[in-house]
């Protein structure tokens, strides 16, 4: 009988020792939300919008292969001076603080766009955050609190983004430099601070 009691007690001790680690894993999982990993090229449909809509001559191209999205082309600053790749993606990101992206590029500055469908005087409002690139893979974090709201490149005063109603995500280049560019994106996650520090 004492041996049976000891075995039961030992089982309880092991269960208690394992449970916290499982809880910890669960918290880590909920601290981020995978939005894109590009493993399935058909999972999301990305489209190019060039500055031809404003009389420009920039050309951008996008493709997904081997788990990577590549956005490349040539920027021409005379005229519109931008090109972009974007996709419709509906998500509730109200529990998160920003986006985490694994990216590399040719050293130019790009911008990530997150839109909620807001309009200003009947024109769509663009919400974007800039980030820099290098030829090496790096993980970049951008905070939703740094989003700039613009219409055709001009800042506008509108309510803050409704993170519960995200409708579109994309990438822009409009850094004011003529010439070729490329950006590769391995994955995009929404993250939140889980240590209570806010940073």
Ordered by start, the domain boundaries in the chain are 1-30, 34-191
CA distance 184 to 71: 6
Query: With bands split at pLDDT 50, 70 and 90, how would you rate the model's confidence at 198?
Result: low
pLDDT of residue 8: 38
Query: With bands split at pLDDT 50, 70 and 90, how would you rate the model's confidence at 67?
Result: very high
CA distance 59 to 76: 8
pLDDT of residue 194: 78
Q: What is the pLDDT of residues 7-54, one digit of tens each?
A: 434 443 333 333 333 333 334 446 899 999 999 887 789 999 999 978
Q: What is the pLDDT of residues 75-118, one digit of tens each?
A: 999 988 999 999 999 999 999 999 999 999 999 999 999 999 99
Query: With bands split at pLDDT 50, 70 and 90, how would you rate the model's confidence at 154?
Result: confident
pLDDT of residue 9: 41
Fold observed for domain 34-191: Jelly Rolls (2.60.120)
pLDDT of residue 16: 36
- 198 vs 111: which has the higher pLDDT: 111
């Amino acid at each position: 009988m004492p041996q049976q009691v000891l075995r039961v007690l030992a089982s309880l001790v092991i269960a208690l020792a394992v449970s916290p680690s499982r809880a910890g894993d669960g918290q880590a999982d909920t601290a981020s939300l995978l939005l894109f990993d590009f493993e399935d090229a058909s999972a999301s449909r990305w489209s190019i919008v060039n500055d031809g809509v404003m009389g420009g001559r920039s050309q951008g191209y996008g493709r997904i292969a081997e788990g990577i999205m590549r956005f490349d082309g040539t920027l021409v600053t005379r005229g519109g001076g931008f090109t972009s790749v974007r996709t419709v993606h509906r998500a509730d990101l109200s529990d998160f603080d920003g986006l985490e992206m694994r990216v590399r590029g040719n050293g130019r500055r790009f911008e990530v766009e997150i839109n909620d469908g807001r309009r200003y005087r009947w024109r769509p409002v663009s919400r974007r955050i800039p980030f820099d690139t290098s030829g090496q893979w790096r993980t970049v974090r951008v905070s939703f609190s740094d989003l700039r709201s613009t219409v055709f490149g001009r800042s506008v005063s509108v309510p803050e983004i409704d993170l519960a109603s995200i409708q579109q995500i994309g990438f822009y280049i409009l850094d004011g430099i003529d010439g070729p560019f490329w950006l590769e994106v391995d994955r995009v996650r929404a993250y939140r601070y889980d240590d209570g520090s806010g940073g």
